[in-house]
Amino acid sequence: MNLSFFDQFSSPSLLGIPLILIATLLPALLLPSPNNRWIAGRLSVLQLWLINLITKQLMIPLNKKGHKWALILTSLMLFLLLTNLLGLLPYTFTPTTQLSMNLALAFPLWLATLLTGLRNQPSVSLGHLLPEGTPTPLIPALILIETTSLLIRPLALGVRLTANLTAGHLLIQLISTATTVLFSTMPTISFLTLIILFLLTILEVAVAMIQAYVFVLLLSLYLQENI
């Protein structure tokens, strides 16, 4: 019984072929494709409004040099947002509950921001490792601490996204299982758990959106430090 709760996080396969690639590409297929018409449909207008809003929020803390990253950050935001929301549907698989995938997204982008800073302003980037006015005896310890905190940033990004989504999916499954089991014996309690399940689902929709935004926002803040 305990293992069945975690079956939803295992990568689906068909005839031994993993289907995580299809689950990863599915959100992109749901976006309406651009057309040459002068008057676009309501869905296209809503899509453009959402993309403009996301891009504006992500580019606020960045200067003009950081605006080159607008396409990457906005695409990542839309991908995480759609993937997290689609994972809340019944009988679906959420790729962002896999730590390996989240680290594969976080580590290259974090490394790119770090290398950008070391190439453009190496003295400023290295200066973050040692705060100004540090007493001489504390310099080695602070350099070690700041270097460690710098290196664990991609790990923190991946673990934060994985832990929040995994915890939410487990809570939904536990409460839905309790609702089903109690329906025949204690209908009143089952109805109360159903209300809790409905409220939790709304909360998880908000968590899915917030976690996607936090993931990309932290990357933009890391980029701000290096440009």
Amino acid identity, residue 80? L
pLDDT (average), residues 185-206 = 90
- pLDDT digit string, tens, across residues 173-185: 889 888 888 888 8
Largest CA distance in the chain: 70
Q: Where are the domains of the chain?
A: 20-226
Confidence of residue 37 (pLDDT cuts 50, 70, 90): low
- Residue 209 binned pLDDT confidence (cut-offs 50, 70, 90): very high
Q: Give the separation between CA 189 and CA 183, rounded to whole angstroms.
A: 8
pTM: 0.82
Torsion, Cα 129 133 135 139, to 10 degrees, reads 10
Kindly state the average pLDDT of the residues 106-129: 85
Report which of 198, 174, 180 is spatially closest to residue 4, judged by C-alpha positions: 174
Residue pair 227/63 in contact (Cβ under 8 Å)? The answer is yes
Minimum mean pLDDT range among 20-34, 44-58, 117-131: 20-34
- Would the pLDDT of 2 be above 60? no
- Calculate the average pLDDT of the chain: 83
Q: Is the pLDDT of residue 121 over 50?
A: yes
- Phi/psi at 3 (5° precision): -70, -30
Q: Which of 15-19, 136-140, 155-159 has the highest mean pLDDT?
A: 155-159
CB atoms within 10 A of CB 184: 8
Which residue would you say has higher pLDDT here, 68 or 12?
A: 68
**187 or 23: which carries more pLDDT confidence?**
187
The count of C-alpha atoms lying within 13 angstroms of the C-alpha of 90, restricted to the half-sphere facing its C-beta, is: 1
pLDDT band with cut points at 50, 70 and 90 for residue 1: very low
Question: What is the Cα–Cα distance from 131 to 80, expressed in whole angstroms?
Answer: 34
